[in-house]
C-alpha cells in the first residue's frame, strides 16, 4: 500500500507539471522562457539541498549530454504549452519519450522482442493520428513540434541516466548545469513573469520536478522497469482530466482515440517477454 501511494503521488507530480505550466502561461502575463528558467533554478536548488541533507553535499556531477538533454526537455516543454492543451501535450511527451527510448535501444543493439515492436508501432500510429494536420481538433503544429523536441530530450536524458550509480546526485548536477541554458534563453527572450507565474514556476521546479523526481527514484527500484512504464500510463489521463477541471479544456474524440492507441501500445511494449520468446532467445 505504501508503494502504491508513493507511486500515485509521483504520477500526480508528473501530471501537475503540465497543468502548472499551462496555468502560468494561460493569461499571457508569464512567458515560457521566464517559466523555464525559474523552473530550472528552483529545481536545481531543491535537488541540491536534498543531496546535501542526504550525504553531506558532494560536488555536482557534470555530464554535458545530461545537462543539454534536460535543458531541451524543460525549454521545449515550456514553449510547447503556449498553444497545447495539458492532456495533448502530456500525450505527445509521453508517447515521444517511449519511441525515443525504443529507437535508442535499437541503436544500442539491444534485443527487442516482437511484443515490444508491436507496442512501439501501435504507439507511433496513435501519435501520427493525433498530429495529422487535418480537422479542427488537430493540435498546433509548432507546439507539437516543440513538445516532440522535449520528448526527444527527456528520452535521451533517460537513456543516459540508466547507468548512473547515484541517480539523485546525477539529476541534481544536471539541473545545476542546465540552469545556464535557461538563463541565456531568458536573456535573449526576456518575456517576464507575473507574481502568480513566478509562484507556479517555483512549485513546478522545486516540488513537482525536484521532489517529484527524488520520490520517483526512491520507488523505481521497487517497481521494476515494466511496472514503472505501466505506472506512467496514467500521467496523460490525469493531465487531461486536470485540464478539463481546472482550465476548462475540452477532450476531443481524436485525443481520446489516439490516447487508446498510444497508451495501449506502451502497455503492450511494457509487458514481459513470453516464455517462448525467452527460450528462443536463450537457445540462439
pLDDT tens per residue across span 71-128: 999 999 999 999 999 989 988 998 888 788 788 878 878 777 888 788 878 888 888 8
Domain for residue 279, yes or no? no
Domain count of the chain? 1
Instruction: Answer whether residue 284 is part of any domain.
Output: no
For the stretch 42-81, pLDDT in tens is 999 998 888 888 766 666 677 889 899 999 999 999 999 9
- Specify if 68 maps to a domain: yes
Q: Which residue has the higher pLDDT, 273 or 80?
A: 80
Looking at the predicted structure, is the pLDDT value of residue 226 above 60?
Answer: no
Helix/strand/coil for 273? coil
Using one digit for the tens of pLDDT, what is the confidence trace for 6-54?
A: 888 988 998 999 999 999 999 889 999 999 999 999 999 998 888 888 7
Given this model, what pLDDT does residue 273 score? 60
- Picking from 259, 270, 154, the residue whose alpha carbon sits closest to that of residue 213 is 154
Please give the mean pLDDT across all residues of the chain. 84
Sign of the Cα pseudo-torsion (250, 207, 191, 196, in order): positive
Q: Which residue has the cell 502568480?
A: 196
Looking at residue 272, its pLDDT comes to 67
Global pTM? 0.84
Residue 145 lies in a domain: yes
For residue 33, the model assigns a pLDDT of 97
Kindly tell me if the per-residue pLDDT of 278 is higher than 80.
Answer: no
284: pLDDT confidence band, cut at 50, 70 and 90? very low
pLDDT number for residue 276: 53
Domain-located, residue 282: no
Length of the chain (residues): 284
Q: Is 115 helix (H, G, I), strand (E, B) or coil?
A: helix
CA distance 246 to 189: 28
Phi/psi of residue 140, each to 5°? -60, 130
Q: What pLDDT is attached to residue 58? A: 62
Residue 135 and residue 154: Cα distance in Å, rounded? 29
- pLDDT digits 0-9 by tens, 153-167: 988 887 887 666 777
The predicted pLDDT at position 97 comes to: 81
pLDDT recorded at residue 55: 66
Question: If residue 281 lies in a helix (H) or strand (E), which one and from where to where?
Answer: helix 275-283
Quick one: pLDDT at residue 215?
Answer: 84
Give me the DSSP letters along 41-86. HHHHHHHHHHHHHHHS-PPP---HHHHHHHHHHHHHHHHHTTTS-H
281 falls within a domain: no
CB 77 within 8 A of CB 20: no
pLDDT exceeds cutoff 80 at 142: yes
Evaluate whether residue 249 is within a structural domain. yes
At residue 266, the pLDDT reads 76
Q: How far is CA 216 from CA 4, 51, 54, 58, 84, in A?
A: 12, 15, 16, 21, 26
Cβ(61)–Cβ(169) below 8 Å: yes
Question: What is the predicted pLDDT for the residue at 277?
Answer: 45
- What is the domain extent for residue 171? 2-273
Question: Residue 45 and residue 279: Cα distance in Å, rounded?
Answer: 48
Q: Is residue 64 part of a domain?
A: yes
Reading the block at residue 232, the C-alpha cell is 506512467
pLDDT at 280: 47
pLDDT at residue 56, rounded to an integer: 65
Amino acid at each position: 500500500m505504501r508503494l502504491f501511494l508513493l507511486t500515485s503521488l509521483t504520477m500526480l507530480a508528473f501530471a501537475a507539471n503540465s497543468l502548472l505550466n499551462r496555468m502560468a502561461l494561460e493569461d499571457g502575463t508569464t512567458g515560457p522562457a521566464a517559466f523555464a528558467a525559474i523552473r530550472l533554478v528552483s529545481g536545481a536548488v531543491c535537488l541540491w539541498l536534498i543531496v546535501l541533507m542526504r550525504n553531506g553535499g558532494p560536488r555536482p556531477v557534470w555530464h554535458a549530454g545530461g545537462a543539454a538533454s534536460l535543458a531541451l526537455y524543460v525549454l521545449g516543454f515550456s514553449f510547447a504549452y503556449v498553444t497545447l492543451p495539458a492532456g495533448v501535450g502530456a500525450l505527445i511527451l509521453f508517447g515521444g519519450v517511449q519511441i525515443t527510448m525504443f529507437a535508442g535501444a535499437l541503436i544500442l543493439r539491444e534485443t527487442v522482442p516482437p511484443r515490444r515492436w508491436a507496442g512501439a508501432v501501435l504507439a507511433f500510429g496513435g501519435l501520427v493520428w493525433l498530429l495529422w494536420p487535418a480537422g479542427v481538433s488537430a493540435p498546433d503544429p509548432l507546439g507539437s513540434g516543440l513538445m516532440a523536441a522535449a520528448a526527444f530530450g527527456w528520452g535521451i536524458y533517460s537513456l543516459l541516466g540508466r547507468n548512473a550509480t547515484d541517480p539523485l546526485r546525477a539529476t541534481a548536477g544536471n539541473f545545476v548545469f542546465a540552469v545556464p541554458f535557461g538563463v541565456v534563453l531568458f536573456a535573449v527572450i526576456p518575456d517576464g513573469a507575473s507574481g502568480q507565474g513566478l509562484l507556479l514556476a517555483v512549485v513546478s521546479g522545486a516540488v513537482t520536478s525536484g521532489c517529484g523526481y527524488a520520490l520517483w527514484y526512491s520507488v523505481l527500484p521497487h517497481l521494476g522497469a515494466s511496472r514503472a512504464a505501466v505506472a506512467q500510463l496514467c500521467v496523460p489521463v490525469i493531465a487531461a482530466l486536470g485540464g478539463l477541471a481546472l482550465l476548462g479544456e475540452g477532450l476531443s474524440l481524436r485525443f481520446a482515440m489516439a490516447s487508446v492507441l498510444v497508451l495501449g501500445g506502451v502497455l503492450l511494449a511494457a509487458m514481459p517477454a513470453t516464455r517462448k520468446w525467452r527460450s528462443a532467445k536463450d537457445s540462439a
